[in-house]
Amino acid sequence: MSNETDRANRISRFAPAICLALVFLILAVATAFAHDPGLSAAELKFDGNKITARLTFSHAEIAMIAPTDAGLESLAKESFTISVDGKDVAPSSVAVTPGESNAIHFDLQFVAPEAPKLVLRSLLIAKLARGHRQFMSLRGADGNVLEQRMLDAANNSFECDPAIASHTRPQSFRAFLLLGVEHILLGFDHLAFLFALLIAGGTLREAAKVITSFTIAHSITLALATLDVVNIPPGVVEPLIAASIIYVGLENIIRREIKRRWLLTFAFGLVHGFGFASALKELGIGAGARAVAPLFAFNFGVEAGQIAIAALALPLIWKLRQRPGFIIRYVPACSILIALAGCYWLIERTFF
């Protein structure tokens, strides 16, 4: 029994150091993947044997595979295929047009023979950043949604039967819910901000106030930005998010007793909401009633991800804070690392 007790004590002794090492490792990975891997949209409209496709990408992402405008039309022509009975149908026309918020549109038209099965394949996903996702919507001639799917490099195609799809309800809520969860789990800057808030300690009530104020604030600006009521460019929002991470990390060091932090968190939550909104903007989700359901589902997914992370992290943090050495040494050390990561993101997003 004494050997097991000694072993438990040794593990407990090294727990803060292990926690610090994990924070350092996470933030080191975060600097390599500071931005979301990318989102794009593909919207197809069926009108008899005519199919029009609009693919919307971030201009910065397209510039990585086509540095000059000279090759954009050729790239657009090879960006999407429609197959009927195993034979590809070439687009009858191709156009490249600029969009809002630094976006670019590839507009293609196809004339395909009517068939019970069409294979739709988006080809550019594999050439973009690893983890890139594309939200595809299929619409009928009346504009009603027939089918919606989230694609990635491993699953960049699916079979469609327009006759059957027109009688089914699109399952977009689940897709946007999962996208929200994934966005918070892969959003290392948002995770760093949340961790900096939680590691400062406090009671369960104080932690709940911090998380709730952040949730309410970013929900407000997420809705305003997605519905085009307020529009702030990502070039302004992203550096502000990095600055908020620096501030919270330094505040953990300078002010040991942090009271009414929920007020500060609410202010920074307003900024982070615009960052979340950029994810939906890249999917072409804009003003109107059609944006309400995706907005709600995406926001719900973000909150579910945040609550899950807090539920896992808070008990561990409270346990470690019972050790005086953790508060004196490891909380400042972790906060410094978080602030340094914020500095990295601020420089990258301001000058590169």
Residue 8 has pLDDT above 50, yes or no: no
Residue 168 has pLDDT above 70, yes or no: no
Neighbouring-strand partners of residue 139: 45, 145
Residue 230 has pLDDT above 80, yes or no: yes
Domains contained in the chain, number = 2
In this structure, the answer to whether residues 133 and 186 fall within a common structural domain is no
In this structure, the answer to whether residues 81 and 166 fall within a common structural domain is yes
In this structure, the answer to whether residues 343 and 195 fall within a common structural domain is yes
* Rounded Cα distance, 121 and 159, in Å: 9
Q: Which of 136, 170, 204 is where one domain is finished?
A: 170
- Mean confidence (pLDDT) of the chain: 78
Question: Could you tell me if 43 and 284 are in contact, meaning their C-beta atoms sit under 8 angstroms apart?
Answer: yes
In this structure, the answer to whether residues 20 and 43 fall within a common structural domain is no
In this structure, the answer to whether residues 129 and 104 fall within a common structural domain is yes
Q: Which of 121, 137, 170 is where one domain is finished?
A: 170
- Structural domain of residue 205, as residue ranges? 2-32+178-351
For 178-224, give the secondary structure using H, E and C. HHHHHHHHHCHHHHHHHHHHHHCCCCHHHHHHHHHHHHHHHHHHHHH
Tens digit of each residue's pLDDT (9 = 90 or more) over 100-115:
667 788 999 998 777 6
Give how far Cα 342 sits from Cα of 37, 49, 163, 263, 294, Å: 19, 52, 51, 21, 30
DSSP 105: E
Query: Please, which pLDDT band fits residue 50 given cuts at 50, 70 and 90?
Result: confident
Tens digit of each residue's pLDDT (9 = 90 or more) over 296-330:
888 888 888 888 888 888 888 888 878 777 788 88
Please give the sequence-ordered ranges of beta strands (E in DSSP) within the chain, or none if there are none: 39-47, 50-58, 80-84, 87-89, 93-98, 103-111, 118-122, 133-139, 145-152, 157-160
Average pLDDT over residues 288-301: 77
Residue 34 has pLDDT above 50, yes or no: no
CATH number at residue 128: 2.60.40
Q: What is the pLDDT of residue 33?
A: 46
Average pLDDT over residues 64-77: 83
Closest CA to 182 of 150, 214, 148, 136: 150
In this structure, the answer to whether residues 221 and 163 fall within a common structural domain is no
In this structure, the answer to whether residues 23 and 80 fall within a common structural domain is no
In this structure, the answer to whether residues 22 and 46 fall within a common structural domain is no
In this structure, the answer to whether residues 28 and 80 fall within a common structural domain is no
In this structure, the answer to whether residues 20 and 135 fall within a common structural domain is no
* Rounded Cα distance, 55 and 78, in Å: 12
Q: Which of 111, 135, 170 is where one domain is finished?
A: 170
Residue 155 has pLDDT above 60, yes or no: yes
pTM: 0.70
**C-alpha dihedral (297, 156, 58, 62), degrees to nearest 10:** 170
In this structure, the answer to whether residues 21 and 145 fall within a common structural domain is no
In this structure, the answer to whether residues 185 and 329 fall within a common structural domain is yes
